[in-house]
Each structure stands twice: as structure tokens, then as C-alpha cells.
Amino acid sequence: MLRLEQCYLPDDPATNGALRLRLFNVGDQPVAIDRLSYTSLLRPNADVVVQGGTFLGRFANKVDIGAPDGFELAPGQHWEITLSSLNIVPRTRTLGALSAWVMSKGEVIDCTVGDLPPANGISTGPIKDWPNPDPELPICLLPWPKHFDCATYGPARLLRPVDDQARAALMQIAALHKRLFPAGADIVTLDDRADSIALRTQAKTLPDDGYEIDIGTEVTVSFGNAHGWRHGLIAVAQIAHAASSDPRFRFPTSGHIQDSPRHDWRGVHLDVARNFMGADQIKRLLDIMAWHRMNRFHWHLTDDEAWRLPIKGLPELTDVGGTRGLGQPLTPQYAEGSKGQRGSYSFQEVRDIVAHGLSLGIETLPEVDLPGHNTALLAALPHLADSDEQSESYHSIQGYPNNAINPGMPETWVVLEQIFDTLADLFPFTHVHLGGDEVDEASWSTSPKARAWAHEKHVQASAATIQSAFMRDCQQMLQNRGRQLAGWDECADGGGVDPQSILFAWRSREKIAALMQDGYTVVATPGQHYYLDMAQGEGWNNPGLVWAGISPLQACYDYDAGAGLPDDTGKLAGVQACMWSELIDCTARFNYMAFPRLSAVAEAGWTPVSQKSWPRFAALSHLMPQL
């Protein structure tokens, strides 16, 4: 039995300090050790100095350290290794080694791994600060509506449809409520019980996606279109659910609510490449989004670490590209350890997820990340690499060597045709997200074929200009299939793309205004506030990454992407929460990181700033469903 303990030594700021590893033999037999491998987002740099072992190499987050010849670890003994020169100074516990294993005479032995304890002088608090004050009013609505006028409250009520139209509508919302809160009390009845209130629905001229609720002896939900109808019924369902499940909440006896969304785009992004999430959980996430009146699911399906989307005619993309493991082209990278991780969706699962979203008013925006972030694709289709390109001629920010697909290879375009055909077939949404982020500036610099392609296209051979020419060609291919391009904010660099694109401003708050000025439609996803994988407090014990900053709940809630921007251009489409999944290896971690920040982004997307209230949100967000 082997256990890896670790600690951070902040010694030398010039090299970001050092990571000390101690591998203990906690069993009762000696163990021969050839090599230790571990995975960690705290990565040694290329100039790393290793004491106590030999640096054998690193593939992104996986590091291999050789043991001295004939090394044997006796019971109770440990092997100490120190690596100095690291990519970052760790600021949270989860940045240390996540998994480890050794090779012992050709056998793999997995190790348990201790947490990275705080280095001297590093604060361990505060961690996530999610107060639970008593609600200001005894009613639960999240997002909060534009106009709210209810003053009298009574006991919980079951909703009783008065006619066939209301009944059909309400049964769908009751089913959503049951899926989200299977153990909760019913909120709908078909019987004329004393604790029920009649509910009717009626069409009316209202703003897009808007609804009104009138409460008296009956509840009337008025709607302008199908989305408004659903939002209105979900609002009544939220009120009924809180009143029936928490004694602090009541059902209004009279009042009026008039509501419509602030923004068209109220999105959630989910990265399923770093850690996979199955179809059933994704459907539950869509249910949770609908309960928050969110309407765009941005599904990040491919990255360096895995390719999860089935493509007609290219089964190797998901077979090879959907598998990480020892002896596989893609090695373990995160908490999965030596056993690796396998996962991809079937065509039917993708269709089911898209259909499930549509049944809840949620459009699915698929993302295939191009041209960078493509280690998995290149592992599955190695003939797409230029064999004359120098190996490891550049590394992406995440440490992947030569990970951009090559526009100078004719085979690239054949594969892209197949990928775009499948995307257009599976996803009815108007836009397809093609990434465009984090292409290393030395990409293609040693590829003769890429340079020849740039020459043919009459663009400079810099990474930004090649990327932009590449994206424009991809955009045309999407347009040929009746789709428009969506991409990360880098798509505006190096010459930009067609302004009909939707671009996602992630690198800074300032990008939102800059992209709008360039004429793009913009979705605000600034990493500083809306990346749900960022730590939620300064404390060391917080799980999460910190590269975009610490994102405490109240700062996330208070952030207004539209502040200081002109309201009338229609260029700010909306807001989106993004969940990158390097550290999201279980449901509990997802929930800890996502909630209530996902709810905060939902309210930012819907509620006018003048109607927002942090204490009310803090109270009500505890009632929202989790994964």
C-alpha cells in the first residue's frame, strides 16, 4: 500500500516555489519502484529541478519521475522528491496532486493521495460564504420578477387547472417539479380540494417571453408566447413549491406579477471533456436551468483531454478520443488516476438531450473547440498532423504540445466537412460554437504546410492571422449548412470573423464593450465572475481554480455585465455561467461549485438591476434544486 503526501514550499518566488512529494510504504511488504506518476494542475516548468528522482517528462498535467536504479521502498519508509520551478503559486488545496500511481516491475500500483496542506502563512479562511437569512417576504421567486405586487399571504395551495388548456400545461410543469424534487409534496391536484386554488392560463399581448400572474380567488397566468407561458407557470410552481416545503414561505392570497426577461441569452456552459457527465445528469441540469428560466445550454464537447461527440464516419474520434488511460494515446490527467476515464455520447443520447432542452425552451449550442485544444482529435486521427512539423514546437497554456489542427493539411478539411455535417444534423440551433480560444502564439510556426497555406491565403504566417483565416473558412462552411458561427472572444483577433457571429467575452470584463464596438453580438462570460470553477473565497480550503480570480458569491451576484454599456444596441445578448470541469469529478463537487452562483447568473440574465437584492437572493437561492 502506497500513499503520496505532498506539501508546497514557497521558498523561491522566482520559480513559484517547489512541490515536495513523499511516497510512503504504508503496507507490510517492500515495494520495488521504477517510476512515480502523478496528475496535478500545479505543473513543473520545462526548467524544473528535481531532487530525489529523475524527471522523465510531463504530458500536460501528468508528471513522471524515475526512481534510482533497483529502488525498493521498505515498509514504513518513504521516498522524498522535490520539484522546483512550478507554473503557478498554488492558492487553494485542490491545486496539488490529484492522483498518483507507481510502476513496480511492470505492474501498476495506485497510491492514495493526501491533500495539499496550506503552506506557512497562507490563510485557510474564509471559505464559501453563503448566508441563509430569513426571507424579506414569505414568497419564493428566483429570478425575481420585474414588477411584484403581492401584499397578503395565506397557507400553501395546490394548483388546480380549470380547463383542458391549463391542465395540459400544468401537468408538464408538475412533471418537471417531480423530477427536480422527487421527495417533495405535490403542487398540483385535479381534485376540487379545499386546500387547492383554481388556475387558468390565457393568451395576451405581452413582451417577448413575458408573463403576468393575477392572484385572487383564482390564479390566472397570462402569456404572450410559449416561452412566457412556461415561465409564468414555473413562477407559480416555485411559489407553490416553497409554500409546501418550507414553513417560512406562504402562498399569496392576492396580488399581481408582471414579468419579462432582461436578456435574451441566459446560458449555462458545461465542459464534458475534462470530466465526463452522463446524459441523465445533463437532462437534470437542463431541468434545473428551466426552473431558473434559463434558455441556452452551451455544451463544450471536445477539448485536449477528450472528444465526446459522435461524428458520422469517424468512430475513432470517440473510441480513441473519448478514452484516457495508461497505454492509451491519451493519458490520465486529473483525479481519475491510472484507471483513466472513458466516456462519449451516442447519437441517440445527443438527440434526446437536444429534444429534452427544447421541451423546456432551452436551445443547445454545441461546441467543437477549434483550431487549438485538439490533442484528443489528433490522437484519434494522427494523419492530420504535418509530419514535417517539429514535435513539441509549442505548448498550449495547459501544457499540451502541438495541439492545434493544421489548416495546411487537406485531410483537415475533409474531417471538418464530416464534423460540420454531423453538427448540422444533430443540433437545430441557429449557431454552432467553434471555440477559437487559447491558440498558442507559436502554433504552426514550424509547420511548412501551415505556412504554405497562409501564403496561399495571402495572410501573414502568425498564429492569430492563420487562426482568423481558418475561422472564416469554417464560418463559411457553417453558413453553407444554414448555421452561424459562435466563438470565444479571440475570434475577433487577427482580422476577426463575420459580425453575424455571437462571441463570448471571457478574458476580461472590458472585452464585452470591445466586442460590441466591433459589431459582434456578445454573451458576457467573464472568468472573473461567471466561471463556476473558480474558487469562491480566499481560503486555502476552497476547492477551485484561481487563474481568473477568486469569485465570491456576493461579487458574482452583484456583477452587472451591462453596467456602463449602451442598452439600446441589442449587441449584449446576455450572460452565461461557465463550468469548466478539470476539478469536477463528482456530483458533490459540481453542486458545491455551481450553487448558488448559477442561480446568481440566472437572476442577472432575467431581473432588472433595480429589482435585485443580495439578502433576498441569499435566502431564496437555498431553495433552488441541485444536480
Binding stretches for ligand ACM (CB under 6 A) = 437-438, 488, 506
Alpha carbons 592 and 580: distance in angstroms, whole number: 14
Which residue number, 355 or 397, has a Cβ lying nearer to ligand ACM? 397
* Least distance from ligand ACM to the Cβ atom of residue 368, Å: 14
* Least distance from ligand ACM to the Cβ atom of residue 273, Å: 12
Which residue number, 79 or 520, has a Cβ lying nearer to ligand ACM? 520
Alpha carbons 600 and 612: distance in angstroms, whole number: 10
Per-residue CA distances from 564 to 189, 430, 509, 517 (Å): 47, 29, 11, 13
* Least distance from ligand ACM to the Cβ atom of residue 488, Å: 4
* Least distance from ligand ACM to the Cβ atom of residue 436, Å: 9
Alpha carbons 62 and 526: distance in angstroms, whole number: 28
* Least distance from ligand ACM to the Cβ atom of residue 302, Å: 13
3-class secondary structure, 141: coil
Which residue number, 84 or 87, has a Cβ lying nearer to ligand ACM? 87
* Least distance from ligand ACM to the Cβ atom of residue 375, Å: 15
In SS3 terms, 457-474 reads as CCCCCCHHHHHHHHHHHH
Exposure of 340 by Cβ count < 10 A (0-12 exposed, 13-18 middle, 19+ buried)? middle
Per-residue DSSP letter, 339? G
Residues contacting residue 430 through CB under 8 Å, at least 6 positions apart: 483, 484
Q: How far apart are the first and last CA of the chain?
A: 35
Which residue number, 103 or 505, has a Cβ lying nearer to ligand ACM? 505
3-class secondary structure, 143: coil
Cis preceding linkage at 143, omega within 30? yes
Residues contacting residue 46 through CB under 8 Å, at least 6 positions apart: none
114 backbone dihedrals φ, ψ, rounded to 5°: -80, 155
* Least distance from ligand ACM to the Cβ atom of residue 578, Å: 7
Find the angle CA(518)-CA(471)-CA(389) to the nearest 5 degrees: 130
Which residue number, 118 or 487, has a Cβ lying nearer to ligand ACM? 487
Which residue number, 319 or 437, has a Cβ lying nearer to ligand ACM? 437
Which residue number, 59 or 547, has a Cβ lying nearer to ligand ACM? 547
Per-residue DSSP letter, 583? T
Which residue number, 144 or 488, has a Cβ lying nearer to ligand ACM? 488
* Least distance from ligand ACM to the Cβ atom of residue 82, Å: 31
Alpha carbons 433 and 366: distance in angstroms, whole number: 6
Alpha carbons 492 and 256: distance in angstroms, whole number: 45
Tell how strand 54-59 and strand 62-66 pair up.
antiparallel
* Least distance from ligand ACM to the Cβ atom of residue 306, Å: 16
Find the angle CA(222)-CA(224)-CA(228) to the nearest 5 degrees: 75
| Residue nearest to ligand ACM as judged by C-beta position | 437
* Least distance from ligand ACM to the Cβ atom of residue 525, Å: 8
Which residue number, 369 or 386, has a Cβ lying nearer to ligand ACM? 369
* Least distance from ligand ACM to the Cβ atom of residue 311, Å: 22
Which residue number, 174 or 556, has a Cβ lying nearer to ligand ACM? 556
Strand partners, 161: 199
Runs of H (alpha helix) within 292-338: 315-319
Strand partners, 365: 298
3-class secondary structure, 520: coil
* Least distance from ligand ACM to the Cβ atom of residue 170, Å: 40
Quick check: 229 and 211 in contact, CB under 8 A?
Answer: yes
Which residue number, 417 or 493, has a Cβ lying nearer to ligand ACM? 493
Which residue number, 303 or 585, has a Cβ lying nearer to ligand ACM? 303
Alpha carbons 377 and 303: distance in angstroms, whole number: 8
Quick check: 238 and 305 in contact, CB under 8 A?
Answer: no
Tell how strand 296-300 and strand 265-271 pair up.
parallel
User: Cell digits for 257?
Assistant: 406579477
Which residue number, 530 or 590, has a Cβ lying nearer to ligand ACM? 530
Cis preceding linkage at 126, omega within 30? yes
Which residue number, 209 or 438, has a Cβ lying nearer to ligand ACM? 438
* Least distance from ligand ACM to the Cβ atom of residue 269, Å: 9
* Least distance from ligand ACM to the Cβ atom of residue 112, Å: 32
